[in-house]
Structure 1
Amino acid sequence: MDELGGARSDAGGGAGAAELLELAAMAARLGRQDLHEALRSVTDAGVRLTGAQYGAFFHSGEDELGDRLDVFMLSGEPSTAFPDEVPVRHTALFAQTFSGRGAVRVADVLTDPRYGGNASGGVPDGHVPVRSYLAVPVVTPEGRVIGALLFGHREPGRFDERSEVAALAVASHAATAAENARLLGSAHRALEEAEASARRLELLQRITALLSTAVSTAQITRRVPAALTRALGCTRAHVLLLDPLPDGARTPALVEAAARSFAAAPAAVRDPATRAAATGVPVLEGPVLAVPLTDRLRRPLGVLSTTWAGAAGAAGAGGDVSDLLLAVAGQVAQALERTRLFDAERRARDELAASVTALTDLSRTLQRSLLPRRLPRLERVQVAVRYQPAVSGAEVGGDWYDVIEAEDGLATFVIGDVQGHSTTAAALMGQLRTAVRAYVTEGHDPATALARTSAVLLAMDAELFATCCLAQLDQVTGELHLATAGHPVPLALVADGRVAEVQVPAGPPLGIVEGAAYSTRRLRLDERTRLLLYTDGVVESPAHPLEEGVAAVREAALAHRDGTCDELADSMMAGIPHRLADDAALLVLDYAGPRARREELVTALPPHLGAVGDARRFLRRALADWGVDGRTRDDAELITSELVTNAVTHTGDPAQLSLVREPDAGWLRICVVDGSTRHPRRREAGPEALGGRGLAIVDVLAESWGVAPQGEGKAVWAQLTLS
């Protein structure tokens, strides 16, 4: 202790009971008080124990220049009693205490030889008047000086050794309280940092979870701002992108001049978000904190922008928030790169799907353009057709149907299927449909039409085959001729409700066998009958056996046997039990039954002129049985003679004579079939000619006559009215 100026020593050198009780009470209070309250208690206790008029606790801190001493607590005097401009520690009176060299006790600063050289006694100008002075350093157990306790009195000789001991005891408690407060503050700061770190980690985890499930850029721009405003307490948050979203929508955009701003000086850009994007560094301005979003190559993607309330704006959020937003921005940028790949992949898929759809629509349009736009209205047959493409794939199949009507009441029903699924198959289907229609229109029977169509397909070298079924029906008589080329046989639904397969001789698919021959099944439908012609897609699938599909078709036909033709067709298509892996076509014909009785007789003729006599005798017997006589009989006999003579004379092959009578319609038809495709020609015979008048005679006697293809040859027919 440095005792100066004759301080009083009559008080003794130890602390009395009162002082000890005061110190004990102070120590008890310090355990329950915060630092501010503790230092006030220490300062107040020091004033009481030392008998000072005032006391002050000075905290030893440093400013940016390394010199600062703050008055932390005052007792006995107002704060204005100490000057702010001149640090107390720079005076000689106080220097020893603040350096930690020990306590200073001065009986009278005005008479002290070292401090009494001026009127103020060595204290700064403006300082509270002081004569007696006592100062003790506040030193931590580690020896670190954290401040000083200063006590003063306007009268000299007020502090003795006992006062100094009391002041030192109080300083020790002050050091303990300050150190505990420092440690507690450090603990609080560590806890706050840990909590802030936990909050940051929680937010980052939340953002990571949000971003991990985001599959589009639009989801990122919606989810991240909502999470940030909830977690950070900012008023607004935006993910601003330089590029528009893939669907054409825009996020809250950067200013329109953002791209142009990159070329300008960043300082010239006023918008914080744009400046952050242009410079690649965070921008804090007023209420806005903007953090750039960049990809792995540091190319700008956009900005993560937050807006804060309060006078401090974004600056009040603290550096931790800036660091946190930088971490979030890194995650968002990575997610944006990923979702942009997703967006690009999605756009590619959508474009591919659109292309497939367009191609499918084009293919379907092509296919449907090759099918009949409308079907003929038949006198005694109702027709319903259905076509359903496969459920998947852009390619189309070659299924087709057709209805061909002839002038003589014949109607031919066609259903077919070209192998494979492609526009090639669809185009080939159109060619085959045209070929079948041409041969049927020429008058060929179903077997011959199939044989010739097969030859056409072989000649095309298309490397595809086709199946087909032809059903040729005479609406008047109910005669039905059927032929198939590797195609499912029709089903018949008769008046009594039975459903049965129509047995037809199987022929090879079209385009497989050179010179393929086909057989015809001839039936007579004497009552109302429904025929069901279909392609294999109706009854077959890779996952279901054929029998299951056929059974489903039968069941649907029976369940709706009393419905209309269209209702029956709809029920059959709806009853298909499997997912369509192939196109499915269905043709339902509802025949009302024969309109009139028809009688037909047929005989074979030899390849010589004796056939003429055989034909005349055959005709006479038939006409006699039918009760036809008179002029009709004579005309019929002459026509028969001429037609048979032409056939055996010009072909040299066997021929066939058929006689058909429809008594209700009142006509008789004579038909001669030979093996030549050469049509007979009328010739002008001179007056003396012995021949050449055959067709002229037929033309005069017959009501009508004509030539039609028949198998590999032709049929020449003539029709007479029965009187």
Structure 2
Amino acid sequence: MPHDGSARARVAKPRATGAGPGASGTPPPVPEAAASVRVLAFTGAALAAVYAPGPSGELRLADITGSAVAAYALPERLPLSGDSPAAHVVRTGRPLWLNHAALAAFSEGAPTPPAQASLGALPLRRGGGALGCLVVVGEGADGFDPEQQRFLERYADAVTGLLPAGTGGGQASPPLLCPALRSLRAGSFALVPDTGLIEADRTLLELVGIAPDDFDGKVDTLLAHALPEDMHVLLSVLEPTPRVLGGRRLEFRVRRPSGGTRWLSLHCRAVAGAAGRPEQVLGVVTATPVLPRSTDDVSRIQWLTVALDDATTVADVGRVVVTALREPLGADRVALAELRDDRLQVAVLDPPDAAAWPSAWQAERRAEGPDAPVGALPTLRSALRDGRMELWPAGTALEPGLAGVGPGGLAVLPLPAKGRTAGLCLIGWDQPHVFAAEERSLLTATAALVGQALTRAHAHDAEQELATMLQRSLLPRRLPDLSGATAVARYLPARRGLQVGGDWYDAIALAEDRVALVIGDVQGHSAGAATIMGQMRTAVRAYAVEGHPPDVVVAHANRLLVGMETDLFATCCYAELDLEEGTALFVRAGHLAPLVRHPDGGTEEVSVEGALPLGISAEADFPMTAVALAPGALLALVTDGLVEAADLPVDEGMRRVRSALAAADPSDPGRVADQLLGAAGRREDDVALLLLRYDGMTTRPIRAGWTVWRLPDAVMHARRFTARTLRRWHVEDVADAVLLVVSELVTNALVYTQGPVHVDLTLRGDRVRVSVSDASPRAPAKPVIDDWEATGGRGLLLVEAMSESFGSVPVASGKQVWSEIAVPRREPSPSDPGPRPNQRDVP
């Protein structure tokens, strides 16, 4: 499609009549302002101006352009409370269209000298607030016709989108009028018929599909992109006669580089020379979304073909069908339904109000539309069976399921596609309708086009649904509940191509007081990237729950990706947080740095030492960076889709996210995440966002540890350590159960494993946790046969019976077997000093 590079559009300079055909030269560029003047002239506007409120209660002239800026003097300032069209429009929020006579009723703000000028004033509003006013001055006394008014209303909307809040407040306003006109995609040209040279602006070249550097200034280059069957109407522009000096309008099609076609609308007028014959042709070309109702059926079918070629979803096809049929045919209702497994699934209803359709449809209504079996509607079943259009005149008695759809006439169109029927289209009239022969032909041709488009759109929707399901299945359904922290995440797919990508996130609860956060991005946007993403997320989670430190987790994931022998690489940021101490260990592999919002509202990028992305080198090192978090801090991990785009450098994107973090209310991390994604409508890439608000643990655990010596009385020493600790913590009520669990777990570790054994006791709230770590990765096995002769494994059954909960988890050096015993509640005595926190025994 159009080339959007940095090169400026080069055009041929029109030569004077009589220039030799062999003359040549490099076409000079067309200034944007000159192109804007041409387009405005075809809207009947001699000039356009923007007035914006100033700081002292007045309207200031913020921008002006046009062919008659010097001829018509507009005031630089207008009182906001005064009697000028601009002030009236800003106060009321309603547009004014004034011919010469009506303009004379206003005492201020009229162009001088008045001559026979007319004026239009349109409000510039956003979010209910007044940003200013667009004023257009016409040289004719009769004012602007309806078509010109519609274009200028679109122009005002485009200006509003570019107008910053506060314009006119003493600061220089950026150019508004020319960029806004360019955004409407209206191209202009100046043609010299005698030489065949044409001066075309950049927008016209984009509409036709010519790269600016490839344009040589010759009209034949433009004509080469037009469809041959439309050439005859374009030749009347190339060879104008004196009777077309007043101007004309026509539609034609061009072949796009992608192979499709595009309808364009051309408005032109010839300028007479001294001899009274056309010497130059000036024109404006715009994209044509819908042909006017007065066009012939052939043109309507041509437009329908182009419009359906651009329709990608079933909803898009429905909108095109409604536009093509309801108004041109004067119909009151149009319904489009897909045929799925002998059931009709209605995709589009126009009007959408359910009360306008049969009550049976309302009873069957689903969230996505009515759904009814074909067998319940004999009329539709017959049309589907025969594959032939059926037209039912006014007064026909139809089944209750169709009663009221078309009391004045009903057309039932089966939609054929690839040897089968893709669906049905119903068109209904309230007043008696006569089906003309031309209308029958139009409906038949429409049905074939819509059926093919519906099949393509259904396949596209199914592909997108599959991609969405794949993406959702690879990302966590929910994040864990954490003690002392709240984590939220968001994911948005890219808005182009297959809506599946390689961004991922995860929050992994490693223990009650530790959590791992990870965010990453696999290169590319495809099912392959999503598959690698799922494998990497699973691998990182597996390595993390084994108890490895962050650098080892990322190193293992890196070697796994290298071993996959894929051409894709991945970036990753991994953080392990100690929620009790408020410390975090970060590892960054080619990813964006994490952001943190401090409790005082200040934000910063966390300075984390970087490393190579995953999948580049199996020998890469991944250093760790330790960071302290204060209660109330908000940690943000993002992917580049949020902070980088074609028109957004990553540094500026990170600055915007930091500003949004600073302005957000951290009490609701979910709302903060939604605010950060608020500007993601521009996104070209998928976006992953992971936020964690660190609050600090309200109940700090008390810990004690003991390294078990491999001596004959090792279990006795472990029991003594446990008894001392429980007395110090004043939880002797559970001493018997805890001592039994310690005896059994330590005995198993000494008998069945080699290497060091360690006992950890933790008191958190009303629970005592016993953890015994050893060097063997094998989980303890319960007895398979439970009878009076079996002896092995009975200790584990006993531990399980005495525990509120019991289990085994792998750790980096082996495994950890744990048990939790509930502590009975009791009233503290005045002499009870309570447990001393965080005391650790040394053997």
TM interval, shorter chain, is 0.3 to 0.5
**When you count helix as a share of all residues, which structure comes out higher?**
1
**Higher strand content, 1 or 2:** 2
> How does the TM-score come out when normalised to structure 2?
0.40
Rg larger in structure: 1
TM (norm. structure 1) is 0.46
